[in-house]
Chains A and B, each alone.
Chain A
Amino acid sequence: MSLSSPSVNANEIESSTLKLWHEWLGLWFNGASHAIGGSAAVAFPALTLRFGQSEAPQPVDGVMLTVVMLSPSVVTRKWEVVGGTRQEMGQAPVQFQCWIRAAGKMSDGADPQWHAARAADLLFAILANSSSHHDLVQKGIMRLQPRPHESLVERNYATRLLAVRAVLRFPILSQT
């Protein structure tokens, strides 16, 4: 898989990063089977993807994944040689919080709790596998470190929270 969205952009850090996540997650959670690293292919569910504060479809039917990005609190800058040219590069540690929520009738009749856990397990697996998330690294979302997901009580939904630490790396274009 390769991503067509532009790399992380210093002038639009959050929107460029979430756009990459959207594309990358859409390639995995599309109802088809995919191999995670060197493992045999497994079936990935089709998820409704949502980013930031976009409005959720109501009612939630099926499994929805919402990715929230906590804005970077610090950006370090360093001059490096990139492709033979000196370039100032920015680096910012960030955290993403992935909320997986399942509700309503599932196509296979299984419990929403099972579907939420399954989606969370698969998300953890692809984030933890360096081959699976290599496309994100190529675009500047690096050093992904997912944490085991946590189950939360919500009356009308099966809810899981999976937090991911990462480092964003992007050029700072100060030259004309």
Chain B
Amino acid sequence: MITISSNLSKVISQVTAVREEVPRAVTRALSPAKWMERAREVAEKTLFVVARPDEFDFVREFARAVTASVWQGGGLLLRLKSPRPELRQVLQQAQAARAASDGSSAEPLLFQKTVLEFEDLILQWVQTPEAEGGKRRDARDEGKTDEEIAQLISYIMLSPNVGETGLRARSALLPHLVAFLQQREQARVGMTPERIDEWLRMVLAAWREMVRAEITARIRAELKAKKFP
């Protein structure tokens, strides 16, 4: 008599178990906490490769700006944004800060720094000679100190309640301010926006290679931890 036996049902149940476990293992392997330090290490090492000696001071600041979070319910999002926002962001933040602060003494320090930074830049523009990109003086400025002129311009640029005339003045001032502030951007931030963009793309390329190299081993390790071969 011939007996035929099969382990097919056992194999099927093992494969079913693996199929159910793999997505869970992938989710665990992509946990942001498991990638954060590695992403920071790669960012820092990459930036030291491309940085000039005068840029070395910024490398660690950028590396500390790396964040890792969950993406769309189970993926991994690694993000690096410039820790030094462009000045148009500073303007938006200052406008929002001024609007949020109703002038009361409650929580003054929360918004003060952003507004003060912008007001300081306006004062620099007023104090800079026109030949060096500073404000062109006209009859409206006669008899006023630099601080008074700067204060008025700050009001026009930041106040949420300027009216039609104020909005027209804001539009007229903005291109001159942007041109001046862009000149100062490099001195203030230490790097041009183009250079910051290059840095971020280098780190992105390095991260892509890092994830490609490590993801399979990490998923395998998660499966092994649950006793899957």
Q: Which residues from chain A sit less than 8 Å from chain B, CB to CB?
A: 50, 52-53, 55-56, 58, 66, 68, 70-71, 73-74, 93, 95, 97, 99, 101, 147, 150, 152-155, 159, 161, 163, 165
Structural contact, B53 and A97, CB atoms closer than 8 A: no
**Chain B binding surface, main DSSP class:** helix
Given the interface contacts A99-B50, A153-B201, does A163 sit within 8 Å of B209 by beta carbon? yes
Q: How does the 8 Å CB contact mask read for B206-224 relative to A, with 1 for contact and 0 for none? A: 1001101110010001000
- Give 1 or 0 for each of B49-60: 1 = CB within 8 Å of chain A CB: 110110000000
CB of B201 within 8 A of CB of A152, answer: yes
In the complex, how many angstroms separate the beta carbon of B201 from the nearest chain A beta carbon? 6
Decide if B38 is an interface residue (CB 8 Å cutoff). Answer: yes
Beta-carbon contact of B213 and A155 below 8 Å = no
Apart from A52-B45, A71-B41: 11 A-B pairs, beta carbons within 8 A: A53-B45, A55-B53, A56-B53, A58-B52, A68-B45, A70-B210, A74-B221, A95-B214, A161-B209, A163-B209, A165-B213
Evaluate whether A97 and B194 lie within 8 angstroms (CB atoms) in the complex, with A68-B46, A73-B214 already known.
no
Residues of A within 8 A of B21 (CB): none
A-B contacts, 22 of them at CB < 8 A, read A50-B49, A53-B48, A56-B53, A68-B45, A68-B49, A70-B42, A70-B210, A73-B214, A74-B217, A74-B221, A93-B217, A97-B42, A97-B45, A99-B46, A99-B50, A150-B205, A152-B205, A153-B201, A155-B195, A161-B209, A163-B209, A163-B212
In the complex formed, the residue of B with least CB distance to A163 is B209
CB-based contact B209/A154 at 8 Å: no
Cα-based distance from A93 to B210 in the complex (angstroms): 12
Interface residues of B in 175-229 (CB under 8 A from A): 194-195, 198, 201-202, 205-206, 209-210, 212-214, 217, 221
List, in ascending order, chain A residues with CB within 8 A of B48's CB: 52-53
List the B side residues contacting A95 at CB < 8 Å: 209-210, 213-214
Chain B positions within 8 Å of A52 at CB level: 45, 48
Residues of chain A lying within 8 A (CB to CB) of residue B213: 70, 95, 163, 165
Give the interface of B toward A (CB within 8 A): 38, 41-42, 45-46, 48-50, 52-53, 194-195, 198, 201-202, 205-206, 209-210, 212-214, 217, 221
For A66, the chain B residues whose CB sits under 8 A away are 49
Instruction: Tell me the bound Cα distance from A47 to B217 in angstroms.
Output: 34
Q: Closest CB-CB distance, A173 to chain B, in whole Å?
A: 26
How far, in Å, is B34 (CB) from chain A's closest CB?
9
A71 partner residues in chain B, CB cutoff 8 A: 41
- In the complex formed, the residue of B with least CB distance to A53 is B48
Residues of A within 8 A of B38 (CB): 70, 73
A161–B214 CB distance below 8 A:
no
Question: Is the CB–CB distance between B206 and A97 below 8 Å?
Answer: yes
A161 and B205 contact, CB distance less than 8 A: yes
Q: Is there contact, CB below 8 Å, between B206 and A161? A: yes
Expressed in whole angstroms, the Cα–Cα distance for A95 and B194 within the complex equals 29
Q: Is the CB of B202 within 8 A of A154?
A: yes
> How distant is the Cα of A156 from the Cα of B221 in the complex, in angstroms?
42
Q: How far is the CB of B221 from chain A (nearest CB, A)?
A: 8
Chain A: which residue is nearest B37 at the CB level?
A73
Q: How far is the CB of A55 from chain B (nearest CB, A)?
A: 6
A153 CA / B213 CA spacing, docked (Å): 23
Q: Which B residues touch A55, using CB under 8 A?
A: 53
CA distance A161 to B42 in the complex (A): 13
Q: How far is the CB of A176 from chain B (nearest CB, A)?
A: 33
Nearest residue, chain B, Cβ from A161 = B205
Inter-chain CA distance A168–B49, complex, in Å, is: 23
